[in-house]
Amino acid sequence: MSIATFILILLAAACCEFIDSGLGMGYGTTLTPILLLAGYEPLQVVPAILVSELFSGILAGLLHQKAGNLNLFNDAVARRTTVILAALSVVGATLAVFVALSISKVVLGTVIGIIITLMGLIILITYKQTLRFRVGHIVTLGAIAAFNKGLSGGGYGPLITGGQVVSGVSPKQAVGITSIAEAATCLVAIIVYLARGKNIDISLVVPLLLGGLISVPFSVLTVKRLSAAKVRIAIGVGTLLLGFLSLGKIWLQ
């Protein structure tokens, strides 16, 4: 890898992680197609993104907790949601790597894109309302999102962050919870990939990891300084745009 390529990948990872750690979405969903368009193979891209998101997710979760955006110790809803999503990551990510899909990737991608788009619309329509916490929504979306993450390297954040907000979790907490749950999903998927004899391209991991880690503290501080209403609107807009991006990527292939 040339120095110029290294720097470009690092900058792309930094930009995508800044958005991801700030809104709980956008890293894998945006960066995966960028790297594929740059000429990398899917089996190079997905495991490398999973490794970089494992560490950036852990760091983001810790910093969100320290900054007060997340409160796992005193908020039972935040704690329960984190545990549920982390547990579901084991099931979803393992199935994504091991099980042969019974439906095409086009159908799966279309369904997920539609769900993401609808959640973005719901968040924007109800942004002034206080929603009741619903465990059932979290369980369903957590399983789907973990499966998609292990399969494609992306698509986790829009489903989980948007789903939490729609299910009654506060926007700032949702962002921090997503970082931790996504890290758990990445860890499971990495273990399964390695168990199946898949190699991880370290030369790609290094710039992705460095770029991600550099941007996390700035992203966390940005969330801390914004009001919950602004974070919620930003999550709604981001979810909606990524829903359109996901559908466009599938339909234009």
How many CA atoms are closer than 13 Å to the CA of 202, on its beta-carbon side? 0
- What is the per-residue pLDDT for 120? 74
Tokens of 149: 């993450």
What does the DSSP assignment read for 148-192? HHHHHS-SHHHHHHHHHHHTT--HHHHHHHHHHHHHHHHHHHHHH
Residue 100 pLDDT:
38
Closest CA to 178 of 209, 243, 223, 136: 223
Cα 172 from Cα 220, distance rounded (Å):
10
Number of structural domains in the chain? 1
Q: Identify which of 107, 89, 246 has the alpha carbon closest to the alpha carbon of residue 182.
A: 89
Give me the pLDDT at residue 130, please. 61
Which portions of the chain are predicted below pLDDT 70?
Answer: 93, 96-109, 111-113, 116, 119, 126-133, 149-155, 228, 246, 250, 252-253
Give me the pLDDT at residue 101, please: 43
Tokens representing 96 are 């994504």
Please give the structure tokens belonging to residue 44: 């190079």
Cα–Cα distance between 238 and 162 in angstroms, integer?
A: 9
* Residue 250 near residue 96 (C-beta atoms within 8 A): no
Give the CA distances from residue 215 to residues 56, 58, 148, 159, in Å, rounded to whole numbers and listed in that order: 9, 13, 25, 22
Domain assignment of residue 123, given as a range: 3-251
Residue 20 has a pLDDT of: 80
The pLDDT assigned to 199 comes to 84
pTM of structure: 0.76
Output the CA–CA distances (angstroms, integers) from residue 79 to 65, 134, 214, in the order listed. 12, 14, 27
